[in-house]
């Protein structure tokens, strides 16, 4: 018989899928690493399980304990699935700009969800960073995951996502393009690919309102770059330890409108029903067109599933209210 012992064993080994119409103007072969095939419908399942298993090995989490994390939804989903299988309680702290679907989904998989205001400074006691830390201090037998600075995050991608891409492209990958939030995906995959072939170029997708691009180009953490934005999952107002700027060749910024419009285009023109950061990554890849030649193999990673955005980027009333649709 061919079966898995639990749902966590289905994580990884996601397909690479060619992007056709939307990449028609790009001379290279453009392939999507399609992460929605993971059981929590996002790439984050990989690092969620790795972070918990490393914490178990290090004795940071004990049987019956409570896992606490500040999350934009997907990491929470991966952690919640692992918590169910492994017998932990799960508390997710989430910012109120995240879609309602993400909050409902976390509750559906047994998580307690604490919603915090988005438009406050990271060190404000109401922010989701501060609230998660405080809850972890107050809750006995709890462990604060901290995906931003937890090295197991990038390690998960170094050990699984990176090797899969290398193997699936038979070592022919020349460029890796991906949205950057905690930095775990770009840093882990990028490090692995560059170790196999130092000529592989690694591009990060950033948003307007985030500090990454300017910091990468100038070394300056410019607070003037920070303002609220709509795009979900990528960009930051902090510098997470998981962003290894040394392995990133460059960033391109994508507007909220373009990210939303390309989220719809991926669904309508490629049949790829994906999240908002996939739209940003697709548009960013098109912005980078001049860097690709006909012999290149460009891999873009798509983080999560469209079902989490049906009230937003897939809702034309919402799109019009934002000024994203004419």
Nearer to ligand PLP, 130 or 187 (CB): 187
Strands 142-144 and 175-179: unpaired
CB of 36 to ligand PLP, least distance (A): 10
Nearer to ligand PLP, 38 or 185 (CB): 185
What secondary structure does DSSP assign to 54-87, as a single string?
HHHHTTSS-TT-EEEEE-SSHHHHHHHHHHHHHT
C-alpha to C-alpha distance for 51 and 109, rounded to whole angstroms: 19
CB of 128 to ligand PLP, least distance (A): 12
Rule CB under 6 A: is residue 72 a binding residue for ligand PLP? yes
Rule CB under 6 A: is residue 182 a binding residue for ligand PLP? yes
Q: What is the CA radius of gyration of the chain?
A: 19
Of 111, 260, 277, 309, the residue at the interface with ligand PLP (CB under 6 A) is 277
Q: Pick the stretch among 6-14, 62-70, 86-94, 232-240 that binds ligand PLP (CB under 6 A).
A: 232-240
Strands 175-179 and 201-207: parallel
CB distance 230 to 289 below 8 Å? no
Question: Of the listed 44, 191, 201, 253, which one is catalytic?
Answer: 44
Rule CB under 6 A: is residue 180 a binding residue for ligand PLP? yes
Query: Is 44 one of the catalytic residues?
Result: yes
**Side-by-side strand order, sheet with 175-179:** 16-18, 29-34, 297-302, 175-179, 201-207, 250-254
Rule CB under 6 A: is residue 183 a binding residue for ligand PLP? yes
CB of 27 to ligand PLP, least distance (A): 27
The mark string for 286-325 relative to ligand PLP (x by CB under 6 A, - otherwise) is -----------------xx---------------------
User: Total number of residues binding ligand PLP (CB under 6 A)?
Assistant: 18
Nearer to ligand PLP, 29 or 189 (CB): 189
Terminal alpha carbon distance of the chain:
54
C-alpha to C-alpha distance for 291 and 202, rounded to whole angstroms: 11
Of 40, 181, 190, 279, the residue at the interface with ligand PLP (CB under 6 A) is 181
C-alpha to C-alpha distance for 235 and 205, rounded to whole angstroms: 8
Rule CB under 6 A: is residue 179 a binding residue for ligand PLP? yes
3-class secondary-structure state, position 320: helix
Q: What are phi and psi of 240, to 5 degrees?
A: -65, 145
Residues at the interface with ligand PLP (CB under 6 A):
72, 74-75, 179-186, 232-234, 275, 277, 303-304
Catalytic residues: 44
């Amino acid at each position: 018989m061919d079966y898995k012992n639990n749902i966590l064993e289905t994580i990884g080994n996601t397909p690479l899928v060619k992007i056709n119409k939307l990449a028609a103007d790009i001379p290279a072969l453009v392939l999507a690493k399609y992460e929605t095939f993971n059981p929590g419908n996002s790439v984050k399942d990989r690092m969620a399980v790795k972070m918990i298993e490393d914490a178990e090995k290090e004795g940071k989490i004990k049987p019956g304990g409570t896992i606490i994390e500040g999350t934009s939804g997907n990491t929470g989903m991966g952690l919640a699935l692992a918590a169910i299988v492994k017998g932990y309680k799960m508390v997710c702290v989430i910012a109120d700009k995240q879609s309602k679907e993400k909050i409902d989904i976390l509750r559906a998989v047994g998580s307690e969800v604490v919603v915090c205001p988005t438009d406050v400074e990271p060190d404000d006691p109401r922010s989701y960073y501060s609230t998660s830390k405080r809850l972890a201090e107050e809750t006995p037998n709890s462990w604060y995951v901290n995906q931003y600075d937890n090295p197991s995050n990038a390690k998960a991608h170094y050990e699984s996502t990176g090797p899969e891409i290398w193997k699936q492209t038979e070592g022919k990958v020349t460029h890796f393009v991906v949205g950057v939030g905690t930095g775990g995906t770009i840093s882990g995959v990028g490090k692995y690919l560059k170790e196999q072939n130092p000529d592989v170029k690694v591009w990060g997708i950033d948003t307007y309102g985030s500090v990454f691009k300017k910091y990468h180009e100038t070394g300056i953490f410019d607070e003037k770059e920070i303002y609220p934005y709509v795009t979900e999952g990528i960009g930051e107002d902090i510098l997470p330890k998981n962003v290894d700027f040394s392995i990133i060749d460059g960033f391109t910024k994508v507007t909220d409108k373009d990210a939303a419009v390309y989220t719809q285009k991926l669904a309508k023109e490629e049949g790829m029903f994906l999240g908002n950061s996939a739209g940003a990554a697709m548009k960013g890849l098109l912005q980078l067109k001049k860097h690709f030649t006909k012999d290149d193999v460009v891999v873009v990673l798509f983080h999560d599933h469209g079902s989490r955005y049906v009230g937003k980027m897939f809702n034309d009333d919402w799109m019009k209210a934002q000024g994203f649709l004419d």
